[in-house]
Amino acid sequence: MILVMTTIKVFEKIKLKDAILVEGLPGVGNIGRVAVGYLVEELKAKKFAELYSEWFFPFVMLQDNYQVKLLKNEFYYCKAKGKGQRDMVFLVGDCQSLTPQGHYDVVEKILDFAETIGVKEILTIGGLATGEAEAKNKVIGAVTDKKLMDRYKEYKIDFKAGEKVGYIVGAAGLLLGLWKERDKDGLCLLGQTAGFPIVTDPKAAEEVLDIVTKILKLKLDMKKLEKKVKEMEDFIKKVEALQKRALMDISKAPAGQNPPSGGEELRYIG
């Protein structure tokens, strides 16, 4: 018997050239999730693989009110079209791993898969909760190697992340840390968000998206972002509920018997 903790289901076998993977999983301010979700929509990127894992919450989401759906991460791709563009892979999803150990396992599986499809560079997007009321729109960056800082120096990224933060937590950090161990290149962009971490911040997402589109040589109409965020509202609410739920420490209660949460969207069930 083989232990398979994390499964990647591939719908379409693809082989990309010098591709860049852009990660936007739920996290602080859902900045990555919103930014990369917008890219996927605007570019009409195509879903080609899904990942699910024993390390995720033991839940199913309800889609369109009636349909059960495992918590998943999803891979989309979009081939280079315009001048200076590269093949692109987008990684979005419902959640990150529930346990520290799971983060390592899921991230290693993602990197194994990324290598097989031709990903050469990784760009992760996250948020930095400043805890201060006044917004700071400077995007903060960190890299796997000094040469990356030179490569991206033209984009007004503040490469003094270490002065403000000690660590980059979860997928946004580990994808780069473990990618670097494979002698590969990567960049992390962090939008600064004032509020509480689990409140989605489309403004901070726009700041990051502005730089990401320049890096990817994309011409996107940013004006639709706010509208798109509204359309994503139902999904965002569920992700926020999932994050709140996580803070309540699901691991303490058996499935199906979690104490009531008060909030409508969190009324448990099972």
In the bound state with a second copy, the residue whose beta carbon lies nearer, of 1 and 133, is 1
- Taking the complex as a whole, how short is the minimal distance between the CB of residue 155 and a second copy, in angstroms? 14
Q: Cβ distance 15 to 117 under 8 Å?
A: yes
- Taking the complex as a whole, how short is the minimal distance between the CB of residue 93 and a second copy, in angstroms? 12
Q: How far is CA 62 from CA 26, 231, 234, in A?
A: 18, 17, 11
Q: Cβ distance 175 to 23 under 8 Å?
A: yes
Q: Say how far apart CA 37 and CA 91 lie, in whole Å.
A: 9
- Give residue 121's region: left, alpha or beta (phi > 0; psi -120 to 50): beta
- Taking the complex as a whole, how short is the minimal distance between the CB of residue 11 and a second copy, in angstroms? 12
Instruction: Identify the CA nearest to 138 among candidates 161, 122, 154.
Output: 161
Q: Annotate 1-18 with b (16+ C-beta within 10 A) or e (fewer).
A: eeeeebebeeeeebebee
In the bound state with a second copy, the residue whose beta carbon lies nearer, of 41 and 145, is 145
- State the DSSP H helix or E strand holding residue 231, giving kind and residue range, or none if neither: helix 224-231
In the bound state with a second copy, the residue whose beta carbon lies nearer, of 78 and 97, is 97
In the bound state with a second copy, the residue whose beta carbon lies nearer, of 101 and 137, is 101
3-state DSSP assignment of residue 34: helix
In the bound state with a second copy, the residue whose beta carbon lies nearer, of 104 and 155, is 104
In the bound state with a second copy, the residue whose beta carbon lies nearer, of 41 and 54, is 54
- Taking the complex as a whole, how short is the minimal distance between the CB of residue 92 and a second copy, in angstroms? 14
Q: CB neighbours of 121 closer than 8 A, spacing ≥ 6? A: 19, 20, 21, 184, 185, 186, 187
Q: Cβ distance 239 to 245 under 8 Å?
A: no
- Taking the complex as a whole, how short is the minimal distance between the CB of residue 87 and a second copy, in angstroms? 24
In the bound state with a second copy, the residue whose beta carbon lies nearer, of 117 and 239, is 239
- Taking the complex as a whole, how short is the minimal distance between the CB of residue 115 and a second copy, in angstroms? 16
Q: Say how far apart CA 235 and CA 243 lie, in whole Å.
A: 12
- Taking the complex as a whole, how short is the minimal distance between the CB of residue 50 and a second copy, in angstroms? 9
